[in-house]
Structure 1
């Protein structure tokens, strides 16, 4: 009886060791694939919506780095680990391309946009650019060297011959979302943002759409960062944001689809 117990215990021990050995030989769970994309701040809402479904459908995590296009350009020049860049102006993409930082033949015009002037609800009604000139206001605008919306906005104000009259009233913002925030909070009485930023205003209203003839065409180019080791994942993402489902999301947010 004791011998039988010993044999049984030995057999059980052997089985246990075998099971533990098999468990140890199992492959570790695959590390989830991921990419990092640097994107103009004005694309925050539609891209958050698109990325949510992309991650679910493709199993690829997207790290989203938002900011002014000029700031993002500088980060890439300084070696930031980025796989894909979407700018709000072609100039920023061109500078990176000229420095050999963009993969050859990968630049594509993705989207277009328009500029609008918005004003806070608490103000005396403003109904045009001319209505801003004689009022004691703070006017918000993106930085005119690093923020495309600020660059385009300055071009328009100069073309409309009101830049010199408004310049002393201007407070500059790090990106177009900060302009929106200043006006929505009443910290600035008016400002220039993209039409896509103004679709869900809560405390402000659109004064007018700025004529497209007064500024350079607003184009959002997309380009792959040279040297990225995530080419397959990046290609998957580009295919996804240029499909019909993503087009509908961009259109919903008042962007013009160019691809």
Structure 2
């Protein structure tokens, strides 16, 4: 009789939900919030999303922060963790691509982004918002692009650097900076939210290194729910969300 009661209780009691902690580049926030919410509904598990600049997140993981997955906006920072055996072997792959755009506060006319662009005139004494050009991926890509187009030397004194690309976007949306260099996906999210900005143009793909977002499980934190969420990130449902937010899904 007691065995039957215990069995009935086990059947009636739902499995305890697992929690997956994800460290992700700030530029992924809008898309990843939606993707995580749909996975939570599908599985009953919980996702804790921690967004920041890629270097900050990578350094936190290296110092033992309890992340289960890492979504980086830079292959270099993922390489850094892999060299320290801090990601699970075989779990890493390139998930997404992105573009780099020039945005302006308010309504503005498109421009052709090339060697002849007079950025100083467009700034009109204001600042160009970018992620830190020595560490934040969007800032690194932005400096690469401006350098290859012969624009960096003239514009460098006018650059306002931020700890992540969403912070750079916020400076433009608020009007604190007239222009900014951000990802195409950031511009899509901002426009969808009704923020006060315009996309002036897209930097030529050959003006900067390929923008790649790798993802991997963090070593020592492996569990089935984390692996399942990693699989969900590569699903058709997730791909639709990512593409709708301006990312390019990589094969």
Q: Partners in 1 of 2:230 and 2:69 — Cα distance?
A: 9
Unaligned runs of 5+ in 1: 1-21
Query: Following the alignment from structure 1 to structure 2, what is the Cα–Cα distance between the partners of residues 116 and 105?
Result: 33
2:225 counterpart of 1:238: no
Partner Cα separation in structure 1 for residue 107 and residue 222 of structure 2: 51
- Does the 8 Å CA contact 1:126/1:132 hold for their aligned counterparts? no
CA distance in structure 2 between the aligned counterparts of 1:106 and 1:242, rounded to whole angstroms: 12
- Which moves more between the two structures, 206-215 or 195-204? 195-204
1:196-237 alpha-carbon deviations (Å, 9 max, x no partner):
11114331111110011011100000011111142x111110
Contact kept, 8 Å, 1:41 with 1:68, in 2: the verdict is yes
Matched, 1:179 2:164: no
> Which structure 1 residue ranges, 4+ long, deviate > 4 Å from structure 2?
26-30
Deviation at 1:195, TM superposition (A): 0.4
Q: TM-score, normalised by structure 2?
A: 0.88
SS of 2:210's equivalent? coil
Correspondences of 1:1-259 after superposition (within 5 Å): 31-121=16-106, 127-128=111-112, 130-134=117-121, 135-199=124-188, 200-201=190-191, 202-230=195-223, 232-259=224-251
Residue segments in structure 2 that go unaligned for 5+ positions in a row: none
The one-character-per-residue Cα deviations of 1:140-199 (angstroms, maximum 9, x if unpaired) are 010112211001001001111111111111111111101110000000010101001111
Note the aligned Cα RMSD (angstroms): 2.2
The higher radius of gyration belongs to: 1
Report the number of matched residues: 237
